[in-house]
Structures are given as structure tokens and as C-alpha cells.
Structure 1
Amino acid sequence: MTAAVRTVLGDIPPGELGVCDAHDHLFLASPALPGQELDDAEAALAELDTFAALGGRAVVQWTPWGLGRRAEELPGLSRRSGVHLVSATGLHQARHYDPEELRRVRSGLAGLFVRELTAGPVKAGLIKVAGAYHRLDDHARHVMAAAAEAHHATGAPIGVHLEAGTAAMDVLDLLCRTHEVPAHHVILGHLHRFPDPRVHREAAEAGAYLAFDGPSRAHHAADWRLLDCLEALAAAGHSRRILLGGDTVTAAARSGADGPGMPFLLGGLRPRIERELGPEVAAAIFVENPARAFAVHWRRP
């Protein structure tokens, strides 16, 4: 059995993924972000078209279950734009959901994740989970246990929202040591928001992928440290563990509004990475690493 990336149009060989935005959102709706919903399909298509015009070939949407991900619309957007799309199952922090809704699904999360990864007209290719600020609360531990169970049943990679980039090693301890998920199937998100090079090196040495995602939000206090973080990892021999994503979570952050949006990765960041870190590092970050991170040997539960 060969490894494959599970896109919304079906499984593809990892070599077909191409230049990838490893963490972004085309659709998102949360009570924690009132009035900032990503719910405009034509705006999503415009973002994809601009990304594709710059050479982008794949986008991984990390919007999990229950947050307006509109998975049924992703195949059409993929066909119209020519961009591979990977959808997510999983669950975010508790604050993003109605408490009654969480109670309804809490006892059956692993089964829910497995069904969305393996059944239905649009299959997910990623499990999204989330930690809390500098800690893992009971909700995070419960969801991560279910994600680990779903990983063992299917092989799916697990993407982790680290709140402000914190608790990376706690997450790896829980997922990898307690629940025996191989570290190379774990993608740690938002690490440049906690720009501690020691933590970054330790996570890379453990074998996890490190996603530096969120420059499309603009004006984040740690954005200016992003290139420093990438340079330090590359210098330490960990360029093969780095991923980049836009993490566009509000309509205002899109390139068609006032934000740099998804295209900023290729129009703004890629030239700087090629110039300052070299074309080989840029190719690893945008092409080679996503192909490995999101390709797994899928299992039938």
C-alpha cells in the first residue's frame, strides 16, 4: 500500500500535491468570531484563483467539525480553481461551540472523526484538534484521545492548534507517548507566535512537523520573528520539518479585503525565503514537506 494525500476529490500521490498552503481556511464560522464569518464561496474562489496564479497548487483547510467548513462546496471550488483541497474533521476549543452541541457529540468523537475520514461524498484528510494557553485542559485531552484513536484506525495525520504557539511539548507527550501516535503524523500549528528556538528544535527533533501559520492575519506581534524562526531551524538541520500556512480566519484578512490573505505566502514570503534561506529550503517548505506531512498509508477501520 502506497501513501496518499486524501483530497476532497479523492486520494492523490504525494508528488501531485505541489506548492502547498499547509494551513488555511476557505470557510469558517464561530460564535467566538461574531460578524467575521468566512461564508462567501465566490470570495473563497477568488482567493484560490489568486493563489493559483502565483503557482499555488494545494490548500489544507483546517476548519473542523461544527465550524461552518461547508465541505460539500469544496469539490466544486477545487475543480473550478484547479487547486487540490484537503478538508479536516476534528474539534476546536470548547469556546467555539454551543455547550449542548458539545455534550451531544462528546461520547462518540472518535467514531465521528473516523466516519468523516472514510465515508461520505467528501472525505476529510486531516484531524484538527486544539490546546489551551500554556496547558491542555480536560476538553483538549478528551478530544486528543479521540483523535489518536481515529488516527490508529485510519492513519490520518493530526493537526494541532497551539494557542499562542504554547504547550507544544505537552501535546507531543500526550499524543505520542501516552497515545502512541508517531510524531511524524503530528503537525504543530502557530509556533512562530511563541518564538522560542529551543522549543522549536525540541519539537523538530522529536519528529513532528512545525507549522508556522498566520501571516495572513497581519499585525501579529510575533510576525517579524517568522524568518528568524525558520532560519534557526534550517541552520539546525530541521528544514525538512517546516510547513507554512496563511490561516486566514476572518473575511477582513483575505487579499480581496484589507489583508494579505492566502496569496501572501507565495507573493510575499516565498521570495524572501528563497533569497534569505535559499531555493532548496523554500522547495522543502512549500512542496516536499507538505507532500510527506499529509500523505499517509490510509487504513480501513
Structure 2
Amino acid sequence: MSFIRTFHGDMDPSKLGFTYSHEHIVCRPPYWIEQKKDDLLLDDKEKSKLDVLDFQKLGGQAIVDATAVDYGRDIQAVKEIAEETGITIIGTAGFNKSFLWDASIPEHVKKVTGDYATYYQWIDAKSVNELADFVIREIEEGLEGTGIRGGQVKFGTGYNRITPLEEKTLRAVSIAHHETKAPMHSHTEAGTMGLEQIELLQKENVNLEYMSFGHMDRNPDPYYHEQIAQTGAYLSFDGISKIKYAPESTRIQCILELVKKGYEDQILVSGDTARKSYYKHYDYGLGLEYIIGKWVPRFIDEAYKNGFDGEKLIDKFFIENPARCFTFKK
């Protein structure tokens, strides 16, 4: 039995449609609240909804909300957006990266994590199996006890390092994956430590065909990308539009290099649109419409100039590959 688990319930993977594979819709990360970084707070449901509607008007059908518990999810607001727009949304269980764990745990989250002051204290105090049980409940019962079940499990590591607590959450998420068969996703800070994550996942007997590695375009290294692709994992190029990190030509070149090597079935594309200044209806940014409206036509043009069928590749990156990647196989 295969299905994709969404805010609307479980669905046939063939019904998923055109999908952004890594976004953030409504969230108030406790760490960024404490740092007074308002740009990183997506805290207005109606403004987020307008960007989702822009995506939908151009043919978008589904969004993976990659917001884990430690990044300030607003599950009710995202549920309402899913209901009011008809967009399919996939939620995320698990964890992010260690520096975020210095933040205080919000009162509503303490009901499901326990009475700890910070995420660091909670993750440090709990055993691997106890953390795994938390993730399993979020997949099988509901995110933060809401009854809205997560559609993937996530862990993360920092820039050029993996801390002991990050390894602990990786192991917990691996256990949860084995128990639930949920697809797995990882945060790689600036695209680093993917190969080191793979070494740890192999020790946990994870089939890497269930994995997607995030932020691969932050480390635009074709050799590195090929090493990850050889494991059967998905590579998420989810920094589209972020020219401060690299021009679009670099991202497209990296993607086409993987296509040339035969890995087109393992590529995901999204924007990780996690700032007010990235959203059109918060702060005049390019918004959720940019990839489908502007980047896709450019990619198709460049693909054809390089001898590839651009439309066919877009169908793979946004329809066929997400439908496989985010499927529970029980």
C-alpha cells in the first residue's frame, strides 16, 4: 500500500500534482523571535495565503511545508490555508539544527514535549528512543497533538559539523522512519555534511532511496552532488531565486550536470521561501509565484539549448519525483 500523507489526509501519489518540495508557509521560529529577527517570522496567515493563491493560479497544486517543531509551526493556520485554497500541503515531523535549540519552548509545544525551558534541554534529556517515540506520534497521531499527521520526518546538521545532539536526532528520526515508513528529509547547512549524514544513516540501516537532502544548491559542487546521487537519494535544489548565494545559471548548470549523468529521477526543486522579504504579499519579494512563473520557463529554455527536453524534465522535478519521494510504502 502506497500513499502520501497530507493536511487533507492520505492520498494516492498519482493525485499530488505540481509540487514545491521545501517551503515554509506560516511559522514563528522561537530562536528568531528571541533574536528579534522579524524578517524570519512568517506570522500573517492571510498574507501567506495570498502567496499560496498566486502559486495556485499558475498551476501549482501541492507544497511540502518543511517546518519542524523547533521552527515554530502554526499548524492551525496552515490547515486553514489548505482548506481555503484546496492546495495539498504535506507537514513535517522531526527536528531542524542545533543552534535553534537554544530557544525557549513555547507553552503550547510544552504540552507534547514536556516541561523543559529550551529545546536543547529537552533533546539532551530524552533518550534516542524517547525522541523517536515523539516523532512517531507526530506521524501516526498528529503534529503537536492536533490530529493533523506529518507526511515526512526530518533532521538537520550545522555548517561543516554534526553535533552530538544532531546525531542523536538523526538516529531518532531513523528509528521513526523504520517504524512508520515515512519519507525522510535532511537540512544540510549551506549544503554541507551530506556525505557525513549518509555514513550515519547507513549505520542506521536506512535505505537512502527514502531520503531527500536539502539545500544542495548552496554547495554547487557537481562531484559532491554525484556522490550523493549514487546512493539513490533525492537532491533538493531549494534555493531558487536566492541570487545572494549563487546566480540561477549556477543552479541550472548543477541540475543539468546531474541530468547528463542520468540522475533526473532524483531531483527536486523549490524555494525555501522563509523570510518576509522573500514573500510577495509580506514585503514585495519574488514570492511563491516566481519559480513556476519565471524560473520554469527559463529552465525549459536552457534545457533545450543543452539538448534536453525541458518540459519533460520539469514534469519530473515537480510532479513525478515528488510523487515518489513523499510516498509512504507499507
Q: TM-score, normalised by structure 1?
A: 0.94
Aligned length: 296
Query: What letter is aligned with 1:8?
Result: F
Report deviation, 1:223: 4.4
SS at match of 2:93: strand
Report deviation, 1:276: 2.2
Matched, 1:96 2:100: yes
Maintained 8 Å contact 2:26/2:77: no
| Separation in structure 1 between the aligned mates of residue 174 and residue 268 of structure 2, nearest angstrom | 21
SS at match of 1:280: helix
The corresponding residue for 1:141 is 167
Matched, 1:220 2:245: yes
Report deviation, 1:215: 2.1
Matched, 1:248 2:273: yes
Query: What letter is aligned with 1:113?
Result: V
Q: What 5-or-longer segments of structure 1 have no aligned partner?
A: none
Q: What 5-or-longer segments of structure 2 have no aligned partner?
A: 105-116, 304-309
Q: 1:171-182 residue pairs with structure 2 within 5 A?
A: 171-175=197-201, 177-182=202-207
SS at match of 1:156: coil
Maintained 8 Å contact 2:123/2:165: no
The corresponding residue for 2:18 is 19
Report deviation, 1:219: 2.5
Maintained 8 Å contact 2:28/2:74: no
Q: 1:69-84 residue pairs with structure 2 within 5 A?
A: 69-84=73-88
SS at match of 1:248: coil
The corresponding residue for 1:274 is 300
| Separation in structure 2 between the aligned mates of residue 10 and residue 154 of structure 1, nearest angstrom | 16
SS at match of 2:165: helix
Matched, 1:192 2:220: no
Structure ID, larger Rg: 2
Q: Identity of counterpart residues, as a percentage?
A: 29
Maintained 8 Å contact 1:270/1:282: yes
Query: What letter is aligned with 2:278?
Result: A
| Separation in structure 2 between the aligned mates of residue 56 and residue 219 of structure 1, nearest angstrom | 26
| Separation in structure 2 between the aligned mates of residue 216 and residue 72 of structure 1, nearest angstrom | 28
When the two chains are superposed, the root-mean-square deviation of aligned CA atoms in Å is: 1.5
Query: What letter is aligned with 1:3?
Result: S
The corresponding residue for 2:315 is 283
SS at match of 1:76: helix
Matched, 1:294 2:326: yes
The corresponding residue for 1:211 is 236
The corresponding residue for 2:136 is 114
Deviates more, 1:87-96 or 1:52-61: 87-96
The corresponding residue for 2:256 is 231
Maintained 8 Å contact 1:218/1:260: no
Q: Cα gap change, 1:199/1:133 in structure 2, threshold over 3 Å: closer, same or farther?
A: same
| Separation in structure 2 between the aligned mates of residue 223 and residue 272 of structure 1, nearest angstrom | 9
| Separation in structure 2 between the aligned mates of residue 203 and residue 104 of structure 1, nearest angstrom | 32
| Separation in structure 1 between the aligned mates of residue 96 and residue 220 of structure 2, nearest angstrom | 23
TM-superposition CA deviations, 1:137-187 (whole Å, max 9, x none): 212101100000100110111111111011111111111x11111101111
